[in-house]
Amino acid sequence: MSPRDPVVQKFGDLDALSRAAADDFAALARRSVSERGTCSIALSGGSTPRRLFQLLAARGPGALPWEHVDLWWGDERTVPPDHADSNYRMAREALIDPLGLAASHVHRIAGELVDHDAAARAYERQLVAALGAPPVFDLVLLGLGPDGHTASLFPGSPALDETARWVVANPVTSPLVHGTATRITLTAPAINAARQVRFLIAGADKAAALAQVVEGPRDPKRYPAQLIAPSSGRLVWFVDAAAAASLRGAA
Ligand code: 6PG
């Protein structure tokens, strides 16, 4: 097993997975702050990370050096920040507000802007100003869609071919976005520049895609999560038993 092989950690259910992810998140944040004075984390959206956020909030503001942690997003839906589909809103309700985190450390994507490309370029400029080019996150959290997408890198979408940009407006056609929609997303090169990357994946509806992504033939156009291979960082998959059911050695 080479250090570059993805590490798959299996847990009984979403709650157990989320507790382990909370321990990992806290340890990483403490280490980053002790080594570099700061910690920059890109949060994932969707529903899976909500339990992690709730657990971190329940541990209270003293559980890790939040005053040195900057929160960013891996992707956002093109909706206002108070919309039910907003990834920012989910994190605000489950983590940011309960902990009373300072707004100066919260860097959301302006999904409400009508000019999606301008929103992506504005976020890219913010990222590069704060984290360089490529922007180097201490931690990127990712999820997996039942179609093999991650962040908002959807099968067959133009952002999959992006090699120069760090954030793009990605037009997506998928039943998962109810037809066609634009998403603002980090690109694979931006994610792969991170020091640590964690997939959080739970539920039987992810089993087929997870097996394809981790053990199937290379086909990133069909399974974009296969694009995630940190250039020097570490990749760990936190999966629950239901999502891991189709993996070889799942027993
Ligand atoms: C988003 C996410 C997306 C998500 C997967 C899994 O904005 O939807 O960033 O990549 O992680 O779709 O979503 P669930 O956790 O809801 O299954």
Model confidence pLDDT, tens digit, residues 82-116: 999 999 999 999 999 999 999 999 999 999 999 99
Q: Which residue's alpha carbon is at the smallest distance from atom 2 of ligand 1?
A: 45
Ligand 1 contacts CB of residue 65 (under 6 A): no
Find residue 201's DSSP bridge partners: 239
Q: What average pLDDT score do residues 29-49 get?
A: 98
Q: Work out which ligand 1 atom sits closest to the CA atom of 44.
A: 9
Residue-wise pLDDT for 132-188, tens only, equals: 999 999 999 999 999 999 999 999 999 999 999 999 999 999 888 878 899 999 999
Whether ligand 1 lies within 6 angstroms of the CB of 18 is answered as: no
pLDDT recorded at residue 2 = 54
pLDDT score of 175: 82
What is the predicted pLDDT for the residue at 4? 53
Pocket test for ligand 1, best of 17, 18, 43, 48 (most atoms within 8 A of CB): 48
Smallest Cα–Cα separation from 107: which of 193, 177, 184, 182? 184
In this prediction, residue 248 carries a pLDDT of 86
Structural tokens at position 207: 């089993």
Range 224-248 average pLDDT:
95
> Which DSSP helix (H) or strand (E) runs through 201?
strand 196-201
Q: Which residues pair with 185 in a beta bridge?
A: 75, 168
Decide: 47 in ligand 1 pocket, CB within 6 A: yes
Locate 214 and state its tokens: 């981790």
Burial profile 224-250: b = 16 or more Cβ within 10 angstroms, e = fewer: bbbbbebeebebbbbbbbbbbbbbeee
Lowest mean pLDDT among 3-17, 103-117, 160-174, 204-218: 3-17
Task: Tell me how far apart the alpha carbons of residues 208 and 203 are, in angstroms, rounded to a whole number.
Answer: 11
In whole angstroms, give the CA distance from residue 79 to residue 181.
10
Cis bond before residue 134 (omega within 30° of 0): yes
Q: In the structure, what pLDDT confidence band is assigned to residue 48 with cuts at 50, 70 and 90?
A: very high
Q: What is the pTM of this model?
A: 0.97
Torsion angle defined by CA atoms of residues 77, 113, 141 and 67, in that order, rounded to the nearest 10 degrees: -140
- pLDDT, mean of residues 41-57: 98
Comparing 27-31, 43-47, 144-148, 172-176, the range with the smallest average pLDDT is 172-176
| Per-residue confidence (pLDDT) for residue 233, from 0 to 100 | 80
Asked whether the predicted pLDDT for residue 3 surpasses 70, the reply is no
Q: Which two tokens stand for residue 72?
A: 């960013």
Q: Residue whose CA is closest, atom 3 of ligand 1?
A: 151
| Cβ–Cβ under 8 Å, residues 189 and 162 | yes
Q: What is the DSSP string of 15-80?
A: HHHHHHHHHHHHHHHHHHHHHHS-EEEEEP-SSTTHHHHHHHHHT-TTTTTGGGEEEEESEEESS-
Find out whether the beta carbon of 87 lies less than 6 Å from any atom of ligand 1. Answer: yes
> Does the C-beta of 150 come closer than 6 Å to ligand 1?
yes
Pairing of strands 179-186, 167-174: antiparallel
Q: What is the pLDDT of residue 174?
A: 87
Pocket test for ligand 1, best of 50, 53, 72, 75 (most atoms within 8 A of CB): 75
Report helix, strand or coil for 104: helix
Per cent of the chain over pLDDT 70 is 96
pLDDT on residue 5: 65
Which sign, positive or negative, has the C-alpha torsion 164, 167, 171, 177? positive
